[in-house]
Amino acid sequence: MTGFIGQALIYIVPFLLLLTFIVTIHELGHFLVARAFGVKVDRFSIGFGRALLSRTDRKGIEWRLGWIPLGGYVKFSGDLDASSVPDQAGLDELKSRVVAEHGPAAVKEYFHFKPVWQRALIVAAGPLSNFALALVLLTLLFSVIGERIEAPRVARVAEGSPAAAAGFQPRDLITAINGRPVTEGVEVTRTILLSANDPLTFTVQRGGQVVSLVATPVRQLEEDEVAGRTKVARVGLYLGAMQQSDFSYRRLNPFEAVGKGADAMVSVVTTTFTYLGRIFVGKESGDLLNGPLGIAKAAGGVTKQAVAYEAPPSVLILNLVLTYLQFAAIVSIGMGIVNLLPIPVLDGGHLMFYGYEAVARRPVPARVQEVGYRVGLALLAGLMLFATWNDLQKLSLFKFLGGLA
């Protein structure tokens, strides 16, 4: 029993807190922009299910704390269906009901009768809030920690690896990949991870000479406390500082921290879309995609790593907080990206419908919405099943059950 409680504290509780926090910020984005445009809101809930706490304010908005901590939601007055994009017949029915119950003046307070550009901004505010949250967290991190740059110096070359075959040697300094300059080890690692089976040309400084080496990353199975069992692209290079000039550190003022945070966020977004693009063209297996189980395992791994050092409790707590801020920023970016996908059940699908409405001057027909909604559900379910399959593979569950992994 004690062991289960410990595992729950390490894996389940951090995951639920993280998910609820990020989803609440997402829904708060919808809520704040909607209220700025005068939209009537029935409820803002943190968590789902029966209310543990509930209060209705003077504007008639119910503020609720649900007993299931799996995110939250905002409910606009007059929502008719799950897609929140009724067709013309649905709009006419809703308008008649609102006029009958509250009078003609009340119509302008309902989300569905706002101009299409306002509805689009309200919908886009959710994912944009996730990006804004990530930027705030990354800026805070860079303000507290500063910037540490480690040069891409080769410390060791794995025997029998593509790097060894290409002729890499310890103390080589990588200065460019495929002609693109690199100054940090993380840039080299990121490029290799996204280049499985694609030959890469490395420009290397060796002593006083410039050497060109070609190596092709290959996928290999790795076990990681945070990511679990994954196949990732490697060339067999171990990077690390070998002399004082290989690393530098500087404190960042608030403006520099914002810029560095924005750069980091853009890097995560571009890396994610590059990886997704490689999946669609068959160059990646999607092994790095995570579902709820994978995020929960990663949350637990982050917790364990943050408290693994021998240090005073105050230092461990600070390290845990900073580590979780970084993890929350990355998950928040992921949530923003997923919600912008053009799938009807997501914010991106709503924006797609509003784009049609802006051009055609009428909502998407009900039949088309229904088909789109079903296809969207199927796509989303497929994506979640695929990600969950990856999670189970990484957790070695199938190996435990009979060696299927």
> What are the pLDDT digits (tens) for 357-398?
899 888 888 778 777 777 776 776 666 665 555 555 555 444
* pLDDT < 50 positions in the chain: 1-2, 4, 81-83, 396-405
- The pLDDT score that the predictor gives to residue 405 is 34
Q: d(Cα 349, Cα 368) in Å, to the nearest integer?
A: 12
223 catalytic per annotation: no
Q: Burial-class residue 188 by CB neighbours within 10 Å (0-12, 13-18, 19+).
A: buried
H helix count then E strand count, the chain: 12, 12
CATH architecture of 147-250: Roll (2.30)
Q: Find the catalytic residue in 27, 150, 222, 310.
A: 27
Q: What is the pLDDT of residues 18-62, one digit of tens each?
A: 888 999 999 999 999 999 999 999 999 998 888 899 999 998 999
> Do residues 40 and 76 lie in contact, with contact meaning Cβ atoms separated by under 8 Å?
yes
Helix, coil or strand: residue 367: helix
Place of tokens 């995951």: 15
- The pLDDT score that the predictor gives to residue 104 is 81
> Do residues 172 and 154 lie in contact, with contact meaning Cβ atoms separated by under 8 Å?
yes
> Domain spans of the chain?
117-145+254-405, 147-250
> Do residues 280 and 348 lie in contact, with contact meaning Cβ atoms separated by under 8 Å?
no
- The H or E element that residue 222 is part of is strand 218-224
Any idea of the CA torsion for 251, 255, 256, 260, to the nearest 10 degrees?
120
- The pLDDT score that the predictor gives to residue 397 is 44
Place of tokens 């002593």: 207
**31 is written with which tokens?**
């809520």
